[in-house]
Amino acid sequence: MNYLLTVIGPTAIGKTALSIALARHFGCDILSCDSRQFFKEMKIGTAVPNDEELAQANHHFIQNKSIFEEYTVGDFEREALLELNNLFQKNKIQIMVGGSGLYVDAVLKGFDSFPDIDPEIREKVRHDYETKGITSLQEQLQELDPDYFASLTAENPQTLQNPNRMMRFTEVCLSTGKPYSSFLNKEKKPRDFTPIIIGLEAEREKMYERINLRVDIMMQQGLLDEAKILYPNKALNALQTVGYRELFDYLDGKISLDFAVEEIKKNTRRFAKRQMTWFKRTENAQWFDFKTPPEDIIQHIDAIIKKNNIS
């Protein structure tokens, strides 16, 4: 039986350190499912594992794409499953780690299958957004898929403010003549592994303290210089990311540098809160305090594997 040890939790909680400890113990590789660590041009602001950490275990999907490439969660699902298939030939235990809930779910449960989109419709939807703003997309979705619009309003309102997600919803509706929600929750392809999901958490104040410290360290490491290099491409989707957006506003002369840093901290704290809301819905996840020794978590994993092998 194959096992995918999956480490989840909010940003700055210690997922990288735990995943390396697990990889060293089980002699396996690590797949990153952090949707921003894929991009090679974004290193400091995405908290990519440092050279010393990368040397302690084989990592996959770290800085393997460019911000100029279009890379979707569906692309990641396909590539990650292929990589896992190869890795399981060497070791029946592998590790996946990251804070991007949608990408975690894509690998563990499968991603909903959508039809190809007519390029003309895709261009029209983008043009509508660029000329009329996100309100036009919200109005179209409410008309084309009122049930899904209502569910987003009640359960995930921030999604209604995400231009890329809203354009996606609208183009699917227009291309197929069917509600976007009609393509969700279809029967997924079975996985040839059993997930063992480990969540790391901390009291809110401690989590926020760790986030604030990480931002200060990023600034010391040269995050502003990295943002200056990326600034000419600030409109790219990959760069619509906390830590970069705020510094782009500073470089635009809209805010001071001190204010930008405080905004990074505030927006990262909000992001961590959303991450926890998402991950707490994960079925069969075992949650540990971030200070839990790796040995205790390994003992928990070993017990699950032993139980499965007996049964």
Tell me which residue of 260, 256, 222 sits closest to 243, measured CA to CA: 260
Q: Is 98 annotated as a binding residue?
A: no
Task: Pull the structure tokens for residue 187.
Answer: 């029967």
Q: Is 254 annotated as a binding residue?
A: no
Q: Is 298 annotated as a binding residue?
A: no
3-state secondary structure of 65: strand
Q: What is the Cα–Cα distance from 75 to 257, expressed in whole angstroms?
A: 36
Q: Is 280 annotated as a binding residue?
A: no
3-state secondary structure of 250: helix
Q: What is the DSSP string of 8-38?
A: E--TTSSHHHHHHHHHHHHT--EEE--TTTT
Q: What is the Cα–Cα distance from 33 to 269, expressed in whole angstroms?
A: 20
3-state secondary structure of 129: helix
Q: Is 264 annotated as a binding residue?
A: no
DSSP alpha helix (H) spans, 94-203: 101-109, 119-132, 134-144, 146-155, 163-176
Q: What is the Cα–Cα distance from 279 to 272, expressed in whole angstroms?
A: 10
Q: Is 13 annotated as a binding residue?
A: yes
Q: Is 23 annotated as a binding residue?
A: no
Beta partners for 95? 5, 30
Q: What is the Cα–Cα distance from 66 to 124, expressed in whole angstroms?
A: 26
In the chain, the amino acid numbered 81 is L
Q: Is 11 annotated as a binding residue?
A: yes
Task: Give ∠ CA 21-26-32 in degrees, rounded to 5.
Answer: 60
**Strand residue runs (E) in the chain:** 3-8, 30-32, 59-60, 93-97, 194-201, 285-289
Please report, in range form, the residues annotated as the binding site for ATP: 9-16
Please report, in range form, the residues annotated as the binding site for substrate: 11-16
Please report, in range form, the residues annotated as the binding site: 9-16
